[in-house]
Structure 1
């Protein structure tokens, strides 16, 4: 994993969104932390399909939940992905 930069959860951010934030920064360190918002998709952040899969598997592992596969689309925003992770608990 790369260096952890600005990985603290944003005020009021769920554990799932915080995990996604940390994993995005680890997998694609070129993404500026301030660009990571719940209404953005991983594709909008410049993540390719391999990055997206790695981020989801990594976040699910961090949260100790099953990796969600149903309901994931290229245009799924981070809030939707966080909800899928939450439902996997």
Structure 2
């Protein structure tokens, strides 16, 4: 079994127990939604920061699989294969 690696930006790390990398075990391709469910199960605050009440990715959260933003692919249904990385970036607002 090969893990899928989820990389978190520093702003989200406190919501994941201070971790910068979370892993989701996988032996077959899974969806981005499945990976998020797996890694945020123990971190409800992180889950709420990434997705809204309907389960959709919040608009200020960008998720990349192999450098491709999932909104340009199949969104949460985008497949992630074992060994791949999922990068989460939270937009920072300010002026």
Higher helix share: 1
Query: TM-score normalized by structure 1?
Result: 0.34
Flag the structure with higher strand content: 2
Larger radius of gyration: 2
Higher relative contact order (CA 8 A, sep 6+): 2
